[in-house]
Structure 1
Amino acid sequence: MHDVNFHHDHELTQHEFLGCCKDCQHSLEIIKPHIMAFADRIRQYDEAALRALPPDDLYRLFLILDDLAHMDAGEHLAELILAEPEINAALPEIRAYYDTFFSIHEVHLAERLLSTSAPWETLKSFPLYPRYEALVKNQIELYNIEPGSRLAFIGCGPVPSSLILLNHLAGIRSVGLEIDDTTAALSRKVVGSLGLEREIDIVHGDETLLRDLDWDTILVAAMAMPKKRIFGNLRRILMETGKTDASVFYRTYSGMRAILHAPVADDDIDGFTIVGRFFPMGRVNNTVVIAKLDG
């Protein structure tokens, strides 16, 4: 996967937008065929077929969707795209592909990290590392975590890159929660391969375990689901533990990036008030939102 040239030829070129504001119905008509063509393309793959693809081919397929999500387009255009009936009908398939891609991609990366004698160099060489680093650097500025405090991350996955980079760049200690036991075990091995087992704990379980864990701040992964259940449990836990002033950070998708994954909805975070929102720059996917308990 690390042999893929990130500087590839884009299927949707700027030439197609000559004389267009990139924020109108005409823009939608230009973009729609590319989105529908991608949807048609991924319909030929079930999950088993995707997992059977060579890593480089899997990544090249991802880049087609990635280009669409990171178009330099106006905010109104994203609303038009998501509301267009044919595109809206295809979104579940597109978003399911995106989730599956990252599931496969992170397992591939975990296997690479565990099979090399130079895991840090391997981690830094994979194509998406600059995005993760940019996202985490932005969040380090937002967290304002006191020295000695601890972050709890819900949905850490097989390669808990956020926790790894938060510790690597800012010395932040953490605990990662992962609901799948096999994934949690793999994540624990990855942390150990990087020599961070004293800084990062990986626990098998969901957000309800936070009642009995040591933490000061919470981060909810973009792909941790279902959000409504997670935030409902967090609301109860914050009240039961007396941590009613604790910040809950969560990642979501906004603008064109919402084609990748359903954004966190207002009713998902019932009982919380948004106190800050920080939009992504460059090829970073996630908007970072800060929430606190109502009242």
Structure 2
Amino acid sequence: MHDINFTHEHEVEEHDFLGCCLDCRQSLEIVKPLILGFSKDIKKYSQDALTALDPEELYQKFQIIDDLAHLNAGDSLAGMILDDPKIRHELPVIRSYYTTFFSIHERHLAKQLLNTKDPWLVFESFPLYPRYKALIKNQVENQIKNQTEKTDFSADNVLAFIGCGPVPMSLILLSRLYKIRSIGIDIMPDSVSLARRVIACLGLEDSITIVQGDETRLRELDWNFVLVAALAEPKIRIFQNLRTILKEAATRQPGNHNTLVIYRTYTGMRAVLYKPVQPDDINGFRIITEILPTQRVNNTTIIAQLIE
């Protein structure tokens, strides 16, 4: 690690939180220096410096804050930790690093996939693959179990994914595991170019299409339901446009169009990683289903319906 090695010197174990409901203040004092220490360490790096790190070292740094995000602290303690004034002051730094980490790591992965004879082996071997697989499995199986109307993950429907990135993991897994057709949308030309090449090297061009633009591209595309990526921004604009687009579609096809939106957010201690979607962001929608994360998954999946 860089300069300090607080991961090993101050490692937190689950037993540190036994009885935390009786003494949340003590638990806060255990976690607080670790979060502040991570922020202090990461401030030493510019984005260029992070990009220059070896992928293994980059992942090791991510693992520090990720371990803290997955502590079984409970909602009450998590709220107390994230509302602490000193921690709250550092959250923008930590969340900015989280976004930067995914931007860098996806490009590392794309480069590996494009420079190997066996891209599927590389794809299934990278460290975060089990999380993406668990996220997709949890989402699909919950929607099948609850028979959520008009968000059916089947080969008859097309998913539009806003903010797909250079390696559209969710779309790749939906295609490979569930034969779902999809359209990935990203505003960054370099991400779109990489994503198209990655899809081609995996042989998924028939089931996944990548287009450049923002959520307003939905007006030009043929899709059945939409998923908003956890890191897609700005949320308030995205949902404002989705509200308009869904109302326009409902006007053209009264009673025969999907008015549901799926989006990913962060809850509990995982909110240390990224700012959760706020009630004002989804003005005009009401939440109808919440799919909580399992295992080491970071995202909570929400299904919301347009208020007509």
Is the structural similarity TM-score above 0.5?
Answer: yes
For 1:172, the equivalent position in structure 2 comes to 180
- The answer (yes or no) to whether the contact 1:250–1:290 under 8 Å persists in 2 is yes
- The answer (yes or no) to whether the contact 2:70–2:296 under 8 Å persists in 1 is yes
Shift of the alpha carbon at 1:17?
Answer: 4.1
Instruction: List per-residue Cα deviations over 1:3-60 (Å, max 9, x = no partner).
Output: xxxxx96822345446644871211111101000001110110101101111111000
| Structure 1: distance between partners of 2:225 and 2:185 | 13
Distance 1:22 1:47, change over 3 A: farther
Runs of 4+ with >6 A deviation: none
| Structure 1: distance between partners of 2:23 and 2:186 | 39
For 1:107, the equivalent position in structure 2 comes to 107
| Structure 2: distance between partners of 1:172 and 1:49 | 38
Instruction: List per-residue Cα deviations over 1:130-187 (Å, max 9, x = no partner).
Output: 0000001112222423432100000000000000000101100000000000110000
Kindly indicate whether residue 106 of structure 2 is the aligned counterpart of residue 93 of structure 1: no
Residue type of the partner of 1:149?
Answer: N
| TM-score normalised by length of structure 2 | 0.90
**Any unmatched runs of 5+ in structure 1?**
1-7
Q: Secondary structure at the match of 2:281?
A: helix
- The answer (yes or no) to whether the contact 1:21–1:27 under 8 Å persists in 2 is no
| TM-score normalised by length of structure 1 | 0.94
For 2:32, the equivalent position in structure 1 comes to 32
Residue type of the partner of 1:51?
Answer: T
Shift of the alpha carbon at 1:247?
Answer: 1.9
Alignment partner of 1:287 out of 287, 291, 300: 300
Shift of the alpha carbon at 1:77?
Answer: 0.8
- The answer (yes or no) to whether the contact 1:23–1:73 under 8 Å persists in 2 is no
Q: Secondary structure at the match of 1:268?
A: coil
| Structure 2: distance between partners of 1:14 and 1:258 | 19
Structure 1, 71-80 or 255-264: larger mean CA deviation:
71-80
Residue type of the partner of 1:233?
Answer: N
Matches within 5 A, 1:109-258: 109-141=109-141, 142=143, 143-242=151-250, 245-258=258-271
Residue type of the partner of 1:133?
Answer: K
**Any unmatched runs of 5+ in structure 2?**
1-6, 144-150, 251-255
- The answer (yes or no) to whether the contact 2:139–2:291 under 8 Å persists in 1 is no
Distance 1:150 1:253, change over 3 A: same
- The answer (yes or no) to whether the contact 2:165–2:195 under 8 Å persists in 1 is yes
Q: Secondary structure at the match of 1:275?
A: strand
Shift of the alpha carbon at 1:118?
Answer: 0.5
Same amino acid, percent of matched pairs: 56
Structure 1, 103-112 or 234-243: larger mean CA deviation:
234-243
Residue type of the partner of 2:50?
Answer: L
Instruction: List per-residue Cα deviations over 1:99-118 (Å, max 9, x = no partner).
Output: 00000000000000000110
Shift of the alpha carbon at 1:78?
Answer: 1.0
Alignment partner of 1:277 out of 280, 290, 296: 290
| Structure 2: distance between partners of 1:23 and 1:218 | 43
Q: Secondary structure at the match of 2:280?
A: helix
Structure 1, 145-154 or 214-223: larger mean CA deviation:
145-154
Number of aligned residue pairs: 288
Shift of the alpha carbon at 1:241?
Answer: 1.6
- The answer (yes or no) to whether the contact 2:155–2:181 under 8 Å persists in 1 is no
Shift of the alpha carbon at 1:280?
Answer: 0.4
Distance 1:138 1:19, change over 3 A: closer
Distance 1:18 1:210, change over 3 A: closer
| Structure 1: distance between partners of 2:105 and 2:230 | 16
